[in-house]
Amino acid sequence: MNQIIRTACHEAGHAVVAQMLGYEPRYVTIVANRDSSSHTKFPDPYEVQPTMEKRGKYRDMAVIVRARIMAMMAGREAEDFCLGPLPPDAYGDGDDRYWINLMLKDLYKPPVAFVHEVRLRRMASWLVRRHVAAIVRVAEALIVERTLRKRKLRALCGDPPRPHRRLPPLSDVSAEEIEAVYAKAKAAERELDFS
């Protein structure tokens, strides 16, 4: 499969899920720079909170950080859902894994963090499935235009939907899932150890 299509789908997953959670990205691009082959520029969480308050919504900082984690997880989830899964070592989302791990460690203590990572990944997967049409629109636009700014993203995604009453089931996290996530987190830490 063409790498540009997979990259566009990955970045579209980040951008659409962030948009739907009220965490509007500044832009999304599949143009490589010196740091990465593509990226979605998220605003700082401290910039998001006042923006939401202006809209009449109050969100605790932990809720905003969890939204960012789900948006970062949505890239790989969109690739898997739209294009089929790859072997675990074939993904280029090591940088996403690194930042997800840091944010999880800020929110939760280690044994609990792995349970929450599984739950947040399920939520991200559910959001990808729910907004797959917007993800495909954004990915197609990225392939043509290479970079999409906030206004174009908003036009392609539409307004964030009203809150949905039914959430996906989250109570049945198995010990095997926690162990698998723990192993991935440790591998990502070793891979990206800057010391």
Q: Using one digit for the tens of pLDDT, what is the confidence trace for 150-181?
A: 899 889 987 665 554 454 555 556 667 667 77
The burial class, CB within 10 Å (0-12 / 13-18 / 19+), for 88 is: exposed
Q: DSSP labels for 4-50?
A: HHHHHHHHHHHHHHHHHTT---SEEE----SS-S-EEEPPPHHHHHH
Domain residue ranges of the chain, discontinuous segments joined by +: 3-188
pLDDT 10s digits, 71-91: 999 998 998 898 888 776 666
Q: Which fold, 3-188? A: Methane Monooxygenase Hydroxylase; Chain G, domain 1 (1.20.58)
pLDDT 10s digits, 6-23: 889 999 999 999 998 888
